Chain A
Amino acid sequence: MCLLSILIIFLVYFAVVLVLSTFLYPLPINDARRVRYKTLPWMTITLIVINTVVFLVWIAPDLYGSTSETPEMELSDSYTHKMDTYGFSEHSVRSADGVGAFATFTSIFMHVDIWHLFGNMLYLWAFGRRVEDACGPWRYLLFYLGAGMLANLGSVLLNPVLDIRSAVGASGAISGVMGAYLLLFPGTYLTCLWGVGVLLRVPVAAIRRRENRKIPLWRWTVDLPAWVLLIWFVVQDTLPSLETMASGEEISGVNHLAHLSGYLAALTIFLYVRKDLLMRYIHGRSL
């Protein structure tokens, strides 16, 4: 098959998956509101680029380049080795196995598959720019790495069982960014893909148009308040996390404990935000 055909098939598949996955649950795609300091979010863009490059150049060839002839796609040894070596696990940190504590950084920039990468980077794009604007690029990077570190630590320390499985992904750090967003900008709105929301919006828009308000009857996206979305995400992660903390088992394959720890790590944002923004926050002024 030629490359173009593969690309088209992939794009169609991608669109179908996107529509189906966002029909019931909202997916934030953009925070289009004005940011206070009007800075270019180059650190967010850089993080997205680094994550993408690491995946495409280092992980994807092992993941999708497998020549296995069995119906189930078997992960290559190289892929598994990378995940085990550079992913974060309590075992590797405590016993200085693999790269030891260095995995706290490497794991943040690794993803298991394209959807893992896509989802995380989309959330980083939606929430990270405003938080970067609030901190400045370098303090934002420190916060991002710190939140990722705390998320990793939380996921192992809150789990009563010594887990030898490695965890990878930026979602712990991104959870920290999302938590910071909730703390600093709860009143802003996020543009979301949400099938149910788009349908529910139609009668509301129809009523408002009868009141002579000029709004479109149909939109492909819905604007939702940030606090609603973020609290929903926290609740989504809290229950499975409590289960993991009780039983020590994480059967879904998603490290909910890391997410929850990342949200808690958001409290450290006040060590990194710009001075004047911190003073405005303390005095109850808008950010």
Chain B
Amino acid sequence: MDAQTLLKQAARAIRDENNPQQGQALLRQALELDPELDMAWLWLTRTTADPQQQLEFVERALAINPTNEHALKLKARLAGVSQPVQQALVRPPSGSSTGSVIRPLAPMGAGALTASDQARLKTLLDQAEAAHKSGKLEAALAGWQAVLEIQVDHELAIQRVVSHLWRTQRAIEAREIVWRALESGTTTTTIWLTALDIAERMNDQQQADFLRRKIVQMSNIEDSRIVVLLDRYLNSFQVALAAQFAHLAGEARPTSQEVLLKVGDVLQRVGHEEEAKQYLSQAMELGLHTKAGRQADNLLLDYVPELTETERTSVWLAVREVVGIGLLYLMMGWQDAGLNLLHMGVTRWLGVLLAFVGGYLVVSATSSPHQRMLRWLVKTQAASGGNVRSGAIVPLTSLDASSAGPDETVFTLPLSARVLLGLVGGIILVFAFALVFFQALELAF
């Protein structure tokens, strides 16, 4: 079958059958037979949605036939669309020396390879590997380059080429190769990570920042790779970078427990305690019964205890403590009555009742000064004018309520009131003790 026939079949596949993959394969075959077929390059623009790639195909067509009107119109249209993408990619400086190693851009990603392409790829790879093993490095390099001409984002070829170029102090060429793969729209994560590695080693912070942002947003990158990156920054004492990347990762992966746990851990270690707590809480809330959830919960143990507003203002939690005090007094009274509840008498029962009252006053003064029902004791409003959010987490700065500072969102009994309640409650408890235990006290003293 000749190139023109293949071109017609490709056009039919793209236009009539809406099958761009078939069309691309046919166009590839046509270009193999006739590389100067400018219309084939132009039809290739209909097989990809990437404006940058489309522009490259158009450039190829114009390189063959500069007067191709369709190509010129398309180029004019694409120039406005692809410009932001070109700027966002922050290409390396064009003045960099690329040498004779860099070949013209290969148009294809792996998805569009024909069977013959793949066979050719395999052959070239085998030849390159053989040359590498026998020490013929330049021949191997040429082989890998040939692979990249067919498939610009071939993972193994890029690894080999970049590794060789880096070792031979040709960093700029290595970067060029990787960036060509990125610009072809590759989603191979190792290539992106290699680009980041190169940018960092070349101290190109702008490029590295851009790549990090892209990498964390890639849907196909494993969480473990992000964790490894975070560890790397932390272990190399790049504190600011670790913190910055942690924030990026945390925002980009709000449902990944593994990432959130690592982000929280990193932020904790670099001293960003509040943010660490936030991410660890997020990780924990995603599931407490997973390993990561339990680890996050354990890391949260480092922080001051937190209560929700409902819990903090709860009367029942205060009453719980009062019951504990009352129970003690009841047991004392019962023993004092000779282990006979019926013989407790009015005095002891009064003592038990007073124990509950005194206990409540002491508990309110010490560990539960935020109860809602205590508001009537004070005439002044809370500092926030009563505008309290329900269910909001309000951290306790100290469990010792007497040392807690004024809280702007939750009502707190004033210090003077707490002192008064505490004193009165304490006196009542002492009196109650005398009432419930009077016989024992008489015997003892």
A residues neighboring B (CB under 8 Å): 34, 36-37, 90, 93-96, 98-102, 104, 136, 139, 142-143, 145-146, 149-150, 153, 156-157, 268, 270-272, 274-279, 283-286
Q: Are A275 and B332 in contact (CB under 8 A)?
A: no
Known A-B contacts A102-B440, A275-B307, A275-B367; A285 and B324 likewise in contact (beta carbons under 8 Å): no
B293-313 vs A, CB cutoff 8 Å, 1 = contact: the mask equals: 010011001000111000110
Q: Are A101 and B307 in contact (CB under 8 A)?
A: no
Q: Are A96 and B443 in contact (CB under 8 A)?
A: yes
Q: Are A271 and B327 in contact (CB under 8 A)?
A: yes
Known A-B contacts A96-B439, A100-B439, A274-B305; A268 and B338 likewise in contact (beta carbons under 8 Å): no
Q: Is B49 an interface residue (CB 8 A)?
A: no
* Assembled-state Cα–Cα distance A100/B399 (Å): 38
Candidates A104, A143, A157; contact of B324 at CB < 8 Å: A143
Q: Is B323 an interface residue (CB 8 A)?
A: yes
Q: Is B119 an interface residue (CB 8 A)?
A: no
Residues of chain A within 8 A (CB-CB) of B444 are: 99-100, 102
Q: Are A102 and B441 in contact (CB under 8 A)?
A: yes
* Assembled-state Cα–Cα distance A277/B288 (Å): 16
Shortest CB–CB separation between residue B433 and chain A, in angstroms?
Answer: 11
Q: Are A37 and B321 in contact (CB under 8 A)?
A: no
Known A-B contacts A139-B321, A275-B307, A275-B311; A286 and B339 likewise in contact (beta carbons under 8 Å): no
Residues of chain A within 8 A (CB-CB) of B297 are: 285-286
* Assembled-state Cα–Cα distance A90/B339 (Å): 9
Top 8 nearest A-B pairs by Cβ distance? A271-B324, A276-B305, A101-B335, A102-B440, A101-B440, A101-B336, A100-B443, A102-B444
* Assembled-state Cα–Cα distance A279/B340 (Å): 36
Q: Is B33 an interface residue (CB 8 A)?
A: no
Shortest CB–CB separation between residue A138 and chain B, in angstroms?
Answer: 8
Knowing that A90-B339, A102-B440 are A-B contacts, what are 9 other residue pairs whose CB atoms are under 8 Å apart, sorted by A's residue number? Answer: A93-B335, A96-B338, A99-B440, A100-B443, A101-B439, A146-B324, A153-B339, A268-B327, A272-B324
Q: Is B325 an interface residue (CB 8 A)?
A: yes
* Assembled-state Cα–Cα distance A99/B444 (Å): 5
Number of interface residues of B (CB under 8 A): 36
Residues of chain A within 8 A (CB-CB) of B440 are: 99-102
* Assembled-state Cα–Cα distance A271/B326 (Å): 11
* Assembled-state Cα–Cα distance A277/B335 (Å): 32
Shortest CB–CB separation between residue B246 and chain A, in angstroms?
Answer: 23
The DSSP consensus for interface residues of chain B is: helix
Residues of chain B within 8 A (CB-CB) of A156 are: 339
* Assembled-state Cα–Cα distance A101/B327 (Å): 16
* Assembled-state Cα–Cα distance A98/B445 (Å): 11
Q: Is B437 an interface residue (CB 8 A)?
A: yes
CB-nearest residue of chain A to B335 = A101
* Assembled-state Cα–Cα distance A37/B400 (Å): 11
Known A-B contacts A94-B339, A271-B320; A276 and B331 likewise in contact (beta carbons under 8 Å): no
B329-362 vs A, CB cutoff 8 Å, 1 = contact: the mask equals: 0011001101110000000000000000000000
Q: Are B339 and A277 in contact (CB under 8 A)?
A: no
Residues of chain A within 8 A (CB-CB) of B368 are: 275
* Assembled-state Cα–Cα distance A140/B20 (Å): 75
Known A-B contacts A99-B444, A146-B328, A150-B331; A157 and B307 likewise in contact (beta carbons under 8 Å): no
Q: Is B317 an interface residue (CB 8 A)?
A: yes
* Assembled-state Cα–Cα distance A64/B298 (Å): 50
Known A-B contacts A276-B305, A286-B294; A149 and B437 likewise in contact (beta carbons under 8 Å): no
Residues of chain A within 8 A (CB-CB) of B106 are: none
11 contacts between A and B (CB under 8 A): A90-B339, A96-B443, A100-B336, A100-B440, A104-B332, A146-B327, A150-B331, A270-B320, A271-B323, A277-B305, A285-B288
CB-nearest residue of chain A to B324 = A271
Known A-B contacts A37-B305, A102-B440, A146-B327; A272 and B321 likewise in contact (beta carbons under 8 Å): yes
Residues of chain A within 8 A (CB-CB) of B437 are: 101-102
Shortest CB–CB separation between residue A192 and chain B, in angstroms?
Answer: 24
Among B306, B307, B368, B444, the most chain A Cβ lie within 10 Å of the Cβ of: B444
Q: Is B382 an interface residue (CB 8 A)?
A: no
Residues of chain A within 8 A (CB-CB) of B441 are: 102
Q: Are B317 and A275 in contact (CB under 8 A)?
A: yes
Shortest CB–CB separation between residue A74 and chain B, in angstroms?
Answer: 28
